[in-house]
Amino acid sequence: MIVLVVILLDQAMKFYIKTNYYYGEERNILGHWFKLHFIENEGMAFGMKISETPIGKLILTLFRLGAVSFGFYLLKQLVNKGYTRGMIICGALILAGALGNLLDSMFYGMIFTESSYHMANVAHLGHGYGKFLYGRVVDMMYFPLFTLKLPDGLPLLGGKEFSFFDPVFNIADAAISVGVITLVLFQNKLLKKKTEPDAPKVMGQAN
């Protein structure tokens, strides 16, 4: 259910942004600290890439496909081996996020037209801008919480403005991040199997 809910929310948001925003469009949602800002990327979470070439994109998509396939198997093993509910929830969040971005990479190039910087030419379902496995991931969530100017005496970065949080991401990225961060912070509790309840003692049985 967690995987299904995350996928539905993630894909619904991406479909809405892709078909209602022109490329680069930005709208304030909650003041100036939460915005929807439409961009696309061919890489990993938060716009990271392993290569600028088409073969790099193909390798990344195939890696995602393999990781998601293994993820379903691994999640089933966690359930069967009796790991804690928290561990299973974290695994489901990570798997759902990976699957959400994989769907973009696999199919969006085939089903959506190219996004444009012009308001009158937002994308729509139709003749695709790319081939199978070469779709771009849709990102839109932007939280520029604060901006500050770094001290002039700081090496390399002195005098420059620093904005937190700059990366633009999507619901799938957020699910992966929540799952991973929770596992890191609470690994001692989550990476354990549930203890079996003690068997009831028979009356008169010796201690």
Catalytically active residues are: 139, 173
Place of tokens 């209602």: 20
Bridge pairing between strands 146-149 and 137-142: unpaired
> Phi, psi at residue 107, to the nearest 5°?
-115, -25
> Phi, psi at residue 37, to the nearest 5°?
-135, 110
Q: Residue 54's closest CA among 63, 69, 43, 38? A: 43
Residues in CB range of 189: below 8 A, 6 or more apart: 84, 86
Q: Is 41 helix (H, G, I), strand (E, B) or coil?
A: strand
